[in-house]
Structure 1
Amino acid sequence: MRTPAPPSGTPCPYKIIQETGLCFAAGLLGGTAYHFIYGARTSPRGHKLLGAIQTMRMNAPRTAARLGTWGALYGALECGMHYLRHKKDPWNSTTAAAVTCGLFEVRRGVWPVVRSAVSGAGLAALFEGSLIFGDRLMLMLAMRKDTTVNYPKFPAASMEGGAAGGGGEKEEIGFDLLLGEVGTKVLESFDTAGV
């Protein structure tokens, strides 16, 4: 009998490969752009393009390899946290990011490790929080898809300058994002009286 697939995301052994590849690609693209611009700015006049290409070729692979290694370690630690806790929640990725960032600063001493781990945990928590907020927002929008917005019908003006009777339709708008509950405000259009 097969084991059931996880509820969401990539299974753990493949997640390490996926994280490594994504981080390597991001490091390669970002490192290429950064080092090309840096090389162009620091090269002497007349040699800007050649200096930019040379700086990019020397440093972009190093940046990509460093970020790829970061992704592999992060993926392995996140899978390890999932294996140990038997849960898939934001604490796994936050802890994995903290440990990964801390391990990358081990040779510099204790305080750089602590600073890097705290900043890595903070960034991971911020990222996970934005994902949770996005999921909650999409859920609220999905719950709200049945409500329709009916705009009031404005009457046509008559030749004497008066107006015919207006419609009394309702417009349903709004929901409370902070509390996570869907609320509706009903605004009624006003009736315009004829002159």
Structure 2
Amino acid sequence: ERKGIAPPCPPIQAEGRANPWRIVDDCGGAFTMGMIGGGVFQAIKGFRNSPVGVRHRFKGSVSAIRIRAPQIGGSFAVWGGLFSTIDCGLVKLRGKEDPWNSITSGALTGAVLASRSGPLAMVGSAMMGGILLALIEGVGILLTRYTAQQFQNRDPHPLPENPGVLAPSPPALTH
């Protein structure tokens, strides 16, 4: 069973065809994350780089958000869509879903996105993508193990099978 950040990839629909909706869903989620995160970052950057005065700084923030946040969201969507496409392809190809699919998908996504910059950039981006996803998957596995341990019964003195042994019966009340 895969324990990662992304939801499991349903590679096959009931009819036996590949399911593209996971890819579309991941694209939308990545776009939203990029828009929100980029919007916050650009608001701060626009505020700091604007002339003095609250009105100028507010206008600078709004302008920076309008110009750059959709571009950042689009970049995130491309990354998320490519990652999800490769991940679903690996699930279909390997027939199992495990952290290696995500790590490989991160590395291949980094390589494909850096392909216009040459082989050296592709290798560097592939390494960064693979390492980043390995860290994310590792943290996910550690958190899963940690939280699973919290729910284990660690009492060295288990309860007896006969509950009557625990305490004597209370005296009967008579009126």
TM-score band by shorter chain is 0.7 to 0.9
Runs (4 or more) in structure 1 with deviation over 3 Å come to none
Establish whether residue 32 from structure 1 lines up as the match of residue 33 from structure 2.
no
Inter-partner Cα distance in structure 2 for 1:117 and 1:30: 24
Counterpart in the other structure of 1:138: 147
TM value normalised by structure 2: 0.74
Counterpart in the other structure of 2:27: 20
Fraction of identical pairs, as percent: 33
Inter-partner Cα distance in structure 2 for 1:134 and 1:15: 24
Higher helix share: 2
Of structures 1 and 2, the one scoring higher in RCO (CA 8 A, sep 6+) is 2
Q: Report the CA distance between 1:94 and its aligned residue.
A: 0.5
TM value normalised by structure 1: 0.67
Counterpart in the other structure of 1:87: 96
Inter-partner Cα distance in structure 2 for 1:60 and 1:30: 8
Structure (1 or 2) with the larger CA radius of gyration: 1
Aligned length: 142
Cα 1:10–1:112 shift into 2, 3 Å: closer
Structure 1 vs Structure 2 CA RMSD: 2.0
Instruction: Structure 1: state its 5+ residue gaps.
Output: 1-5, 150-195
Task: Give per-residue Cα distances to partners, 1:58-117, cap 9 Å, x unaligned.
Answer: 010010011011111100000001111111111101010111111111112222211111
The 5 Å alignment of 1:71-150 reads 71-144=80-153, 147=155
Instruction: Structure 2: state its 5+ residue gaps.
Output: 12-18, 158-175
